[in-house]
Structure 1
């Protein structure tokens, strides 16, 4: 339990309110960094995230307060430095911070002091850090020299070589959500370190939520692509039966205004077994109410007859009809070429002819036209 005096508790409550009351989806760190910098009488504050790629690390975001440089210059400096991948990077490994460093406020001496062969952690002796990170004395000395040499470039670039800094690695389990820190020429006090430590759990909850929101945006895009590739009408439905999203074929059904479909979707979302060729699969996301993926499975069984009818209407060749069959099943040109035993370029030519004959301009529009045709 972290004990704070009344003044520290008031500051903590104000900072927590900034994190808690920020609108979902709004980046809260820029505002919090400015307030944290003022509260702890720091000269500068910075926060950044890390994407761990197979070949290098990338800075996923960065926010700053009090720097003379433009935000873009700070982002570029951090990203360039991080691209020179080593593990651990600096005094921690972004891919998997050591447990002793996760969600813990640590106070570092300035680069100038650490260059005098002193371990930069104020609150943990050098031998203790090495032991907890599993380093031998020689490995610790080599790492200190490497960090001082590599950190020197970016610290001097940002004018921070004479500044001490206080930072916390905000983590969810072993995953780094963000590096949040403050710098100034005077060392930070133990009380200021306690305040950042007390704020870290709220930072962790907020950054977890913001990470989930970013991931849900990515997953939403992936779901849309997957729904288009189904080759049949599909919808995402809320627990009340409201259609949240529909693919091209699904939108055709909605535009027809068929009351039976709307009723089936509503009843299915309420747990009533669906009749006919409609299936509903729960979509479960932490923190969100139940949603369902509804698919009209009947469209697949009627696809062959539909292709045959449209082949006559659109004057398709036998090969164009085959290509259309595979397109509405969501297959790529490369996959279609493999099935038909021809070059991918040949399939592209057939697709161009299909778009012209169906009088549409895109593959998704062709699929929609396919399911729209009676």
Structure 2
């Protein structure tokens, strides 16, 4: 239990209420940063998140209070300052922060105070060289100093922060960085400020974990939609009360025909044992911090490729060989396997598949399969 005076306990409850009481997806972090600025008597507060891309780190969010720059300008400035993937950003590796720095507030001197930057941080925690207290090697420490004297110092100068002390914490879930939260002011931060930030860190962790999962759910939407199309049957991802979160084209068409009746069938399906009704449901799709979701689909009669093949061969104007290739494609076989079945080169199969995509007016193999069973 962190020892806080009664006034700080009141401030802590207020900040925790902002982070945990607001609806998912709302602007809880900006509101909490406003309150944090007041509680720490800071001039500015900020929070940001980064993700690892194929070649560099990317900004996921930036919130700032007390800055003259707009939110969009702050985002652009910060994103432009991020280094290539695999390198450090200041005192930590965004891909996997050192354990000694996870969820542990640090008080730092102004970056422009010392040319050697050996005055950072000023926590007074532990003994020995600073890089050891930050769980860095000497080589990593030198890299951090180089970054601080380069792109990071330039960012601080553009934001007017180079002569301000800072109090920051790397909010992590396990070894994953959820976000950086910090405050800036002219006067050094105190142990009291550090204790308050430490007590508040679990609330930031819960909120940022929830926001991260919501962002991931939004990013997975297009991928999930493409996967549902491949099923070739009406399919829906729904909540337990039957609210549709995702659907494919066949599912959307079914819903538009009889939304009320189908919604009742979906709810009944979720409350009944599997295989006892006209619809099939998966078990709950569980994501920490979000309500359970379910995959529901209409299995319909067994899909028989051979019954559809003659009709689509004529409709799409396929050659006999293209029809043979299509029959194997819709059964999920690879080009190599199809070539073995038909006794031809794999390159020949690739050419036939390209012709099939063009004639079916689709852009991918999965879309071709979906079009086959929906046509």
TM-score of the pair, normalised by structure 1: 0.80
> Cα 1:318–1:61, aligned 2, differ >3 Å: closer, same or farther?
same
Distance in 1 separating the partners of 2:68 and 2:203: 29
TM alignment of 1:209-358, pairs within 5 A:
209-239=210-240, 244-254=245-255, 257=258, 265-274=266-275, 279-285=280-286, 286-297=288-299, 299-311=301-313, 318=320, 321=323, 342=348, 347-354=353-360
Instruction: Determine if contact 2:335/2:350 at 8 Å carries over to the other structure.
Output: yes
Instruction: Determine if contact 2:51/2:60 at 8 Å carries over to the other structure.
Output: yes
TM alignment of 1:1-80, pairs within 5 A:
1-80=1-80
Larger displacement relative to structure 2 (325-334 or 302-311): 325-334
> Cα 1:242–1:90, aligned 2, differ >3 Å: closer, same or farther?
closer
Distance in 1 separating the partners of 2:114 and 2:223: 47
| Offset of residue 8 of structure 1 | 1.3
Unaligned runs of 5+ in 2: none
SS in 2 for 1:223: helix
Distance in 2 separating the partners of 1:326 and 1:334: 11
> Cα 1:329–1:214, aligned 2, differ >3 Å: closer, same or farther?
farther
| Offset of residue 164 of structure 1 | 0.5
Give the corresponding residue for 1:169.
170
Larger displacement relative to structure 2 (161-170 or 259-268): 259-268
Give the corresponding residue for 2:106.
106
Larger displacement relative to structure 2 (330-339 or 121-130): 330-339
Distance in 1 separating the partners of 2:32 and 2:10: 15
Instruction: Determine if contact 2:57/2:83 at 8 Å carries over to the other structure.
Output: yes
Give the corresponding residue for 1:208.
209
TM alignment of 1:120-135, pairs within 5 A:
120-123=120-123, 124=125, 127=128, 129-135=130-136
SS in 1 for 2:283: strand
| Offset of residue 47 of structure 1 | 1.0
Instruction: Determine if contact 2:100/2:135 at 8 Å carries over to the other structure.
Output: no
Instruction: Determine if contact 1:267/1:274 at 8 Å carries over to the other structure.
Output: no
> Cα 1:299–1:248, aligned 2, differ >3 Å: closer, same or farther?
farther
| Offset of residue 195 of structure 1 | 1.4
Distance in 2 separating the partners of 1:308 and 1:259: 36
Unaligned runs of 5+ in 1: none
1:100-133 Cα distance to aligned partner (Å, 9 max, x none): 1111111101123232553311113672543344
| Offset of residue 68 of structure 1 | 1.9
Instruction: Determine if contact 1:228/1:330 at 8 Å carries over to the other structure.
Output: no
> Cα 1:237–1:85, aligned 2, differ >3 Å: closer, same or farther?
closer
> Cα 1:169–1:283, aligned 2, differ >3 Å: closer, same or farther?
same
Give the corresponding residue for 2:180.
179
